[in-house]
Structure 1
Amino acid sequence: MPNDLSADPEVDRRELALSRVKAWGLPVAAVVLAMAFGAASITNGLADRERTRQEAAASQSAAAIPICEVTSRTDLVPGSGALFGVNLNLDAKPLSQYAADLGHKPAVSVSFAGFPYTEQERAHLHQAANQIRADGHMMLLTLEPKQGLAAITPGVIAGLVQDLVSLNAEGVPVIVRFAHEMNGSWYPWSQQPVEYKSVFSQIAEAVHEGAPGSAMMWAPNYGGGYPFAGGQYEATPGTPGFEALDTDHNGVLTMADDSYAPYYPGDAAVDWVGMSLYHWGARYPWGENETPEANKFADQLTGNYVGANGDDSLLPDFYHVYSQDHDKPLAIPETAALYNPAVGGAPESDIKRAWWEQVFSPQTAAQFPQLKMINWFEWDKNEAEVNGRIDWTVTNTPAVRDAFTTALPSWLHYGTGTNCRPAGT
């Protein structure tokens, strides 16, 4: 593996850090210099002095990157309570501002990248890591194989592991959420259980072997409405994997088929299980401002919800089957409550307060002791399902922010800002 650290971890990590700085900084600088000064016939002496300056700056930057004692993936799970994190639009608000608004540095920050990722996405990944190092603690890296599962080659996986090693050594633990919502019908990796489990297992094996400071999360979509007929990538009879999805063996996919089990890659591959749970509204079509029904959060986790999609009681009890019985920590990678500024109905404060009171209630902590991560979806964005703007945030409106921060329970854990203990100390 390209990330083998068995000989001398500290030396190799410094070399990884230095190579990253040179790979991103020096080529760009060289191109700029050539464009700016080439036509003016810069002398070799000046070019040499500039090159020396650039290399010295790169070396100084590499030396400034901390080389940290890597936190084991098993130690990423809190012994009690849950990590509080955020899915934040970093282009609209830096993590430092969010931490100031919240009054805490978040323990988890969610990042998204295509996979294989482009050099631009890779640069954004490391930029996000820099913010997390300063104002958070851990990255939840959501990898989206938009080119399809076949694009995930051994070389792509090896490159990911090398990047994870670099991030871990710089004080940023990473949990990889690969190909989330794979049981949906709207992604190029959707409803392909055989291929999905194979690729997930290959990535997990490589991460477990090569990046001990990183972990793997399996995170299907909430099964209400399964099999989500009409989606671009829905499975149809005769397609690979359809037989595996037809768990009741009647030749068609319905809500009576298990919406989770065919996609589970196995205990050896999975470190965390996760499920994103939102309040989109009480009834379809979405877009109306409606307060959440009582116990909705808990009922969705346990397969007891009766609401927007009809009777979801046919769903498996996700918490007990996959977190409790499989003995895996549970994450809520994304959660929030829908507020549509363009329509009337229930006020923003009532909708969002009713949802976070369920998520943060003492009953939630008592009923779900394996719940170890909750990440708020802090975006104000257009949603295709609504054909309009939805404000999911809780820190942009002062009154909502004050109520939210006051409601944060004592059983949540936040980032400490002290991610890095120098290696060897």
Structure 2
Amino acid sequence: MKLFRYILCFAVLLAWAIPAGAAPAHAAMAAITLSPNTGPAGTSVTITGTGFPKKTSGTVTAGTASAPFKTSASGYFTADLVMPESAEPTVTVRAATATASATAPFTVTYSSPSIVEEEPPAEPAPAPAPTSPAAPAPATLLRFGVGTPGGPLAAAELNEVTALAGEAPSIILSYKDFNQAPPITELEAVRARGALTLLTWEPWAWGGGTAQPAYALDRITAGDFDPYLRQWGQALAGWGHPVMLRFGHEMNGNWYPWSEQVNGNGSGDYVAAWQHVHGVVTAAGATNITWVWNPNVPYWGSVPLAGLYPGAGYVDAVALDGYNWGTSASWSSWVSPSQLFGDGLSQLRALAPGKQILIAETSSAEQGGSKADWITALVSYLSAQPDITALTWFHYNKETDWRINSSTPSADAFKQALAARR
């Protein structure tokens, strides 16, 4: 009997000890998922994390690319990352805080977008028409474009804009810096929507401010970035469809490191850099690009446009960026569309006669006047000028609420103004 009691006690103690020492079945484990989890280098991927420490900062990495994140009160986060070039078939994406980490594989469908082979046509392709392959079809009305925070892959944002505007945007604005691969997946997503990409290519590292000597204009001209430029040229050539490329936009201001007013740059450096970039990318075979030269609307103290224009042989289209800040800033006041764009448009026509003109970024604040009336006036003003081919709206809630639907009257006016131009 004593032996039986001994065995019974031992069994009870063992049964108690095993779950006490093991991790609870419901304990959260850090994990991440990728969307999408496959594609070429240059794909924008959304990383979703769960089970991480609550309200904690961390970093997502994939090869040379990285992005910060902060978890919620439930240990959840999302972060966006652009997949870098890789010689391996998979890239390991890792999310880590000081006390937890998780990984997930991203499958690279091919090492460089430039080497994708398209299926051969069933019959010989007809000879191309004697027009620039990158030039959009002649517009019968002012084209509507948009830029949203999520960019070309943010389908929900673009669908919302379509509903607000009463029509799908035919131009989609996006941004890449000099650390990002050619965004072929994004370009293809825009093409699938029946639209054209207005791709902003910024020669700097995002978040680094205006003092970035590594990206000084004379370094670009000297060829320091030529391998990277060729990569872009080959990738865009391999993709083979029309894309509008605005390199180093708003160069007449002083808020980017490619301005001649900052970062050790001097007079003539911008034109030299533009011409060099154009030459390298074109030599790589990218003849499907419409090169868009895009200053900000001139203002007191801005660099004169005449010294920044690369020349007709290096530019296919010209553009302006301009915003009605209203009274949303301490230094700003309400301006009408003609006051905002009139002088800049006159200068563009003098510098680049015969070139198509785009309004590549614009919006209005609500403060200081009627945004609804401003929108109505803007579309009417631009539609009356045949050489202006596009209006691209900056649909962001950033310095102020620039969005189409910052108010119900503004959203209604936007839809009505676009409908009236038909």
CA distance in structure 2 between the partners assigned to 1:190 and 1:139 by the alignment: 24
CA distance in structure 1 between the partners assigned to 2:231 and 2:117 by the alignment: 23
Larger radius of gyration: 2
Could you say which residue in structure 1 is the equivalent of 2:376? 357
- The 3-state SS of whatever aligns with 2:323 is strand
TM-score (ref. length: structure 1) = 0.60
Q: Residues 134 and 287 of structure 2 are in contact (CA less than 8 Å); yes or no, is this contact kept in structure 1?
A: no
Aligned ranges 1:12-91 → 2 under 5 Å: 27=88, 29=90, 72-73=132-133, 75-76=135-136, 78-90=138-150
CA distance in structure 1 between the partners assigned to 2:270 and 2:91 by the alignment: 42
Could you say which residue in structure 2 is the equivalent of 1:322? 351
- For structure 2, the residue ranges without an aligned partner over 5 or more in a row are 1-38, 44-82, 94-106, 205-214, 261-265
Higher helix share: 1
Alignment partner of 1:376 is 2:393: yes
Could you say which residue in structure 2 is the equivalent of 1:339? 366
Could you say which residue in structure 1 is the equivalent of 2:298? 223
**Larger RCO: Structure 1 or Structure 2 (Cα < 8 Å, ≥ 6 residues apart)?**
1
Identity between Structure 1 and Structure 2 (%): 27
Alignment partner of 1:174 is 2:224: no
| Match 1:148 to one of 205, 208, 216 | 216
Structure 1 residue 128: deviation in Å?
Answer: 2.6
| Match 2:272 to one of 187, 198, 208 | 198
Deviations 1:139-184 (A, max 9, x none): 1111111133245332222111122223434xxx211111111111
CA distance in structure 1 between the partners assigned to 2:147 and 2:391 by the alignment: 10
| Match 1:394 to one of 385, 404, 407 | 404
Could you say which residue in structure 2 is the equivalent of 1:276? 321
Letter in 1 for 2:256: Y
Q: Residues 109 and 136 of structure 1 are in contact (CA less than 8 Å); yes or no, is this contact kept in structure 2?
A: no
- The 3-state SS of whatever aligns with 2:174 is strand
Aligned residue pairs: how many? 302
CA distance in structure 2 between the partners assigned to 1:189 and 1:63 by the alignment: 33
The root-mean-square deviation of aligned C-alpha atoms, in Å, is 4.0
- The 3-state SS of whatever aligns with 2:326 is coil
**Residues 297 and 30 of structure 1: CA distance in aligned 2, closer, same or farther (over 3 Å):** closer
Alignment partner of 1:96 is 2:159: yes
CA distance in structure 2 between the partners assigned to 1:20 and 1:198 by the alignment: 28
| Match 1:298 to one of 310, 333, 338 | 338
Q: Residues 116 and 238 of structure 2 are in contact (CA less than 8 Å); yes or no, is this contact kept in structure 1?
A: no
- The 3-state SS of whatever aligns with 2:200 is strand
Letter in 2 for 1:111: S
CA distance in structure 2 between the partners assigned to 1:140 and 1:30 by the alignment: 29
CA distance in structure 2 between the partners assigned to 1:178 and 1:354 by the alignment: 33
Letter in 1 for 2:360: P
Q: Residues 86 and 375 of structure 1 are in contact (CA less than 8 Å); yes or no, is this contact kept in structure 2?
A: yes
Could you say which residue in structure 2 is the equivalent of 1:132? 190
- The 3-state SS of whatever aligns with 2:244 is strand
Q: Residues 357 and 407 of structure 1 are in contact (CA less than 8 Å); yes or no, is this contact kept in structure 2?
A: yes
Structure 1 residue 398: deviation in Å?
Answer: 5.0
Q: Residues 40 and 185 of structure 2 are in contact (CA less than 8 Å); yes or no, is this contact kept in structure 1?
A: no
**Residues 63 and 319 of structure 1: CA distance in aligned 2, closer, same or farther (over 3 Å):** closer
Q: Residues 134 and 243 of structure 2 are in contact (CA less than 8 Å); yes or no, is this contact kept in structure 1?
A: no
- The 3-state SS of whatever aligns with 1:221 is coil
Moved more, 139-148 or 396-405: 396-405
**Residues 185 and 19 of structure 1: CA distance in aligned 2, closer, same or farther (over 3 Å):** closer
**Residues 266 and 67 of structure 1: CA distance in aligned 2, closer, same or farther (over 3 Å):** farther
Could you say which residue in structure 1 is the equivalent of 2:49? none
Higher strand share: 2
CA distance in structure 1 between the partners assigned to 2:40 and 2:296 by the alignment: 39
- The 3-state SS of whatever aligns with 2:229 is helix
